[in-house]
Structure 1
Amino acid sequence: MSLFVKSLFTFTLLPTVVFAVDSSTPNLSTSGLKYWLADEVNDTKVVTQFQNVVSSNPIKINKSVGKLARIALIYPSADLSDFWIRNYHALTKRLDAMDVNYSIDEFSSRQIQHALQTRYIDEVLARQGEYDYVIYGPSELYVQADNIQRLAKSESFQSYIWAFHTPMKSWQFQPDAWFDFSSSVGAQALCDFLIQRLGSDVSFAMNRGIPGITDDQRSGDFKSCVEEEGGWINFYEHFGQYQAGGGRDGAALITQSFPEVTMLHNANTAMTLGSLEYLAEQSLIDGMYVTGWGGTAAEIEQIKQGNLNATPMRMGDDVGVATAEAIKFSLEGRTSDIPKIYLGRIEVVDDQMSTEEINARTREAFRYSGVELE
């Protein structure tokens, strides 16, 4: 089984490789990427068994474990997307359900507040010995690369990363585990769905996020797929910084300058809501096929109202539940049973589904964080 290590591990041809990988993995020498793929560092049996645990009812922690799990959670929960706060609830409620004894300190920011997250990292590292687990949802992977490695270097706690799943091959120190949904898988699923639904030769535009790995996958992979597999034509790409105002600005620029565009891609919930607000004000909703990202409660509500057409829907609580299970496994001395990269489930939800179908998916996605169904 492949293992992350917290110190430099030397191979003959790769002197700065930071964790061992399974040399039998077929993608190892052919992926050509700057980061490790999940199937290059995970043990397939471990992943399958762990996913079964995440999808099943909770099991109480071994009674012999009396240790308090001291947790620091650093994440951009002040943004409009409810992904962060929902997974906080999923994490804590799953821990409660398993009778895990824990304390948790939250360090909240917005996704564009990179410097604030650095200050939080400084504070946590200055309190060495006060935490057993540090969960970090970076504002952006490349921007926060040094901070991630600072956490990973520490021997005093386990470091878990939320909302990313791409360990960079050049890093000297790697976190203990990553918990995320695959943006590439979501982009492919959305691409396949839309080509089937809208056909070929569609004129489209994009509200992209912040230049970096997440947007490369959510937007870049989606763009490549629809262009190559559907012959779609891209008219404009606007970087909206994952903010509602950015989505609104992008929608305004696109509709005013490129009336040919009939489909608008948004790379997160905030930009989706901003673009929908503008389109509604200008009475342009009916003429634009709009997609979101993540299947958050706000997006699902917009689909039910007939404003948003489709979204790749994450089984949102999977990340929080999986992190809680990892903490439990760690407390029980079962770290080898934790995948190095955990990827939650994702499905496309659209405006042609019945309310009952959408509600069933919503109940599963938000089984711990809760949702009001109508």
Structure 2
Amino acid sequence: MIKVRANACSLLLVIITFFSYSKIASASSVLVGYWGYDEYLAKYPEESVLTSELKNTVKMEPIPLSIKQDKPIKISFIYPGEQASDYWVRNLIALESRLKALNIKYELTTVSTRLNIDFKEQSRSLYNAIDKKSDYLIFTLNTTRHRKFIEHVIQSPDTQIILQNITTPVKAWHDCQPLMYVGFDHVIGTKLLANYYQQQFPNGAKYGMLYYSYGYLSTARGDVFVQSMDNNKYTLTSSFYTEATRESAYNATQSILQDRSDVDFIYASSTDIALGAVDALNLFDDVQPLVNGWGGGSLELEAIKNGTLDVTVMRMNDDTGVAMAEAIKLDLEGKKVPTVFSGDFEVITSETNPEKIEALKERAFRYSDVSLKHE
């Protein structure tokens, strides 16, 4: 699939953005307006080959850049780092570590924000990246505002955009796609958790839902989970959109348990939300529903070790930072870059062998742990 650049995208985006929203009512997928990760790779076999090749490259030792750079590339990385999860910090470390290992000369500008709150800061940083003619802009997509920012950047002839923490291409952008969507596919991770709960409660269960803040992540992690559960056996008793913070999840969990104290589990959509739910459970001595994490970062693994969390889907965290560095290398060498890349998951439970968890940590944090331990 060809990714059209520059002015060719400008006119297309004006046209396709207008028409994309008119089709929402008739769409059947939970993720309306997006290609599912597996769906996209099945539709575009050539992309499947590129993604498979990058997956292999990510697991290999780095091979230095084959061309000579005239000057360092400029990279702007705007990320939602203001949260308990260490995913983004580790991701940034892995990106830089791999860039250095590839002998790529670069200048990196980073901006840490709160995902659905600091819109002015995000907007200012995005436009600064364009004004400075950053070669690569790394951002995310969770709300309509983010989408508008991204559509503006796609039209820039100087800046390639990498969308982090999303692996489902926007259908309305057709061939005017970003350089790459990269992350750990939310649908795949969510279905792994759904499968776990179905195995734990084969005869059915009642559960509460703690969504992320309103936007793409709530749909991909929350609505997909509800859809994946058999509604004849599994009853969603109550659900709350949080502010994606520990405190908001703490309050929402109290409301769930005060309303229905007989829930068998509480589904949490992120690390902060899971930790807030666990905090709230301490207020209820006679109620102990299962609680899941989402992502398997350091705090979640510690909570599972201590018995306060029951399960999580652990991302092989550093894979995405490595994948971004390798994608930049491919682009610099004039080679094709896959449109989508999803890292691997492992399901970790309170019953998982500690030696296995340590082995997975070595794999998942192979770049970031080295740096964090020296801080």
TM-score by length of structure 2 reads 0.87
CA distance change for structure 1 residues 98 and 8 in 2, over 3 Å: closer, same or farther?
A: closer
Encode CA deviations 1:238-292: one digit per residue, 9 max, x unaligned. 11121111110111111111111120111011111111122134446x7210011
Q: Which residue of 1 aligns with 2:80?
A: 76
**CA distance, structure 2, for counterparts of residue 102 and residue 90 of structure 1:** 14
User: Which secondary structure state, in structure 2, belongs to the residue aligned with residue 81 of structure 1?
Assistant: coil
Letter of the structure 1 residue corresponding to residue 196 of structure 2: F
Greater Cα shift, 155-164 or 108-117:
108-117
What's the RMSD between the two structures over aligned residues? 2.6
User: Which secondary structure state, in structure 1, belongs to the residue aligned with residue 327 of structure 2?
Assistant: helix
Letter of the structure 1 residue corresponding to residue 233 of structure 2: G
Q: Which residue of 2 aligns with 1:322?
A: 323
Q: Name whichever structure is richer in helix by fraction.
A: 2
**CA distance, structure 2, for counterparts of residue 350 and residue 297 of structure 1:** 14
Q: Which residue of 1 aligns with 2:131?
A: 126
Task: Give 5+ residue unaligned stretches, structure 2.
Answer: 19-26
Encode CA deviations 1:58-85: one digit per residue, 9 max, x unaligned. 1122253454121111111122221111
Encode CA deviations 1:84-114: one digit per residue, 9 max, x unaligned. 1110001001111122111100111112222
Aligned length: 353
> What's the CA shift for 1:10?
9.6
> What's the CA shift for 1:198?
2.6
Letter of the structure 2 residue corresponding to residue 60 of structure 1: P
User: Which secondary structure state, in structure 1, belongs to the residue aligned with residue 145 of structure 2?
Assistant: coil
Task: Give 5+ residue unaligned stretches, structure 1.
Answer: 19-28
**CA distance, structure 1, for counterparts of residue 162 and residue 220 of structure 2:** 21
Letter of the structure 1 residue corresponding to residue 51 of structure 2: V
Q: Which residue of 1 aligns with 2:302?
A: 301
**CA distance, structure 2, for counterparts of residue 190 and residue 116 of structure 1:** 34
User: Which secondary structure state, in structure 2, belongs to the residue aligned with residue 211 of structure 1?
Assistant: coil
Residue 136 in structure 1 maps to residue 135 in structure 2: no
Residue 155 in structure 1 maps to residue 154 in structure 2: no
Q: Which residue of 1 aligns with 2:236?
A: 234
TM-score by length of structure 1 reads 0.87
Q: Which residue of 1 aligns with 2:105?
A: 101
**CA distance, structure 1, for counterparts of residue 215 and residue 146 of structure 2:** 11
Contact 2:207/2:265 (<8 A) preserved? yes
Contact 2:9/2:155 (<8 A) preserved? no
> What's the CA shift for 1:233?
0.7
Residue 256 in structure 1 maps to residue 255 in structure 2: no
Letter of the structure 2 residue corresponding to residue 121 of structure 1: L
Letter of the structure 1 residue corresponding to residue 341 of structure 2: Y
Question: 1:81-230 maps to which residues of 2 (within 5 A)?
Answer: 81-112=85-116, 113-127=118-132, 129=133, 131-138=134-141, 140-171=142-173, 173-228=176-231
